[in-house]
Amino acid sequence: MFKMRGKKAGEKWLSIWWFFVLVVILTGIVVGVSIFSASEINVKKLEADILATKVIDCLINDGKINEEFLKGSLDIFKECKIDKEIITKKTATDEGKYYIALEAYKLEDCEVKDDKQECKNSLVNGYNFGIGDFVNQCKIAEVMKEAKNYPFCSEKYVYVLSGEEKLILHVFAGSNQRGGKEVV
């Protein structure tokens, strides 16, 4: 503490400690607000949900599944108007941002266990694009509190008809797109 002309009131407030406290508060708030401002608005789950819904919308018409899909000859990117390059793009610096997988099962091959749909013997193969490891990474992200570098996924099971036969369409979509600042 330093004395200002020996005045007690001045000594009480105009001390170096008071301003030290102010600086500590200021630093804390600046750091806190900066962290908040730099934090990411996470829309990965929303994006994965939109991707899954978009695929379901284009594969099913009036409750009936596109038969070309079951034959394995459907180009889902062309059919669903999804940019294949964006979904499957992989570069040296970019590991890929999306994953989408489609499967179809007979109704009798599926059962609900612990509130979770479980199916076996998919009728179609080869409808998976992007980073397959998102399946595991999304499970990790779900149980972690802080998972900003992990993808978020959306999984949907839809009852559909193929002629008279009842099927279940399983769609799994994931996104790990973070976006960022670029020179434009």
Partner 1 sequence: MWNNKKAIVMEEIIFLVLNAIFFIVLLVFIVSSVNGKAVLEQKYAKQIALLIDEAKPKTIIYLDMRDAIEKATDKKNAVKINEQENKVIVKLSSGRGYVFNYFNDVGINYRLDGNNLFLEIKEKENV
Tell me which residue of 181, 151, 173, 178 sits closest to 41, measured CA to CA. Answer: 178
Per-residue exposure over 102-122, b if at least 16 CB sit within 10 Å of its own CB, e if not: bbbbbeeebeeeeeeeebeee
Total binding residues toward partner 1, as defined by CB under 8 A: 40
Q: Please, which of residues 126-165 interact with partner 1 by CB under 8 A?
A: none
DSSP state of 97: S
Nearer to partner 1, 66 or 177 (CB): 177
Residue 114: strand, helix, or coil: coil
Residue 135: strand, helix, or coil: helix
Tell me which residue of 147, 138, 148 sits closest to 173, measured CA to CA. Answer: 138
Candidates 69, 76, 97, 103: give the one binding partner 1 (CB under 8 A): 97
Q: Using the rule CB under 8 A, is 60 a contact of partner 1?
A: no
* Least spacing, CB of residue 92 vs partner 1, in Å: 17
Nearer to partner 1, 1 or 30 (CB): 30
Q: Using the rule CB under 8 A, is 64 a contact of partner 1?
A: no
Strand partners, 159: 168
- Choose the binding region for partner 1 from 24-32, 61-69, 139-147, 152-160 (rule: CB under 8 A): 24-32
Residue with tokens 């000859």: 73
Q: Give the binding site for partner 1 (CB under 8 A).
A: 4-5, 7, 9-10, 13-14, 19, 22, 26, 29-30, 33-34, 36-38, 40-41, 43, 46-47, 50-51, 54, 77, 81-83, 86-87, 97-98, 177, 179-184
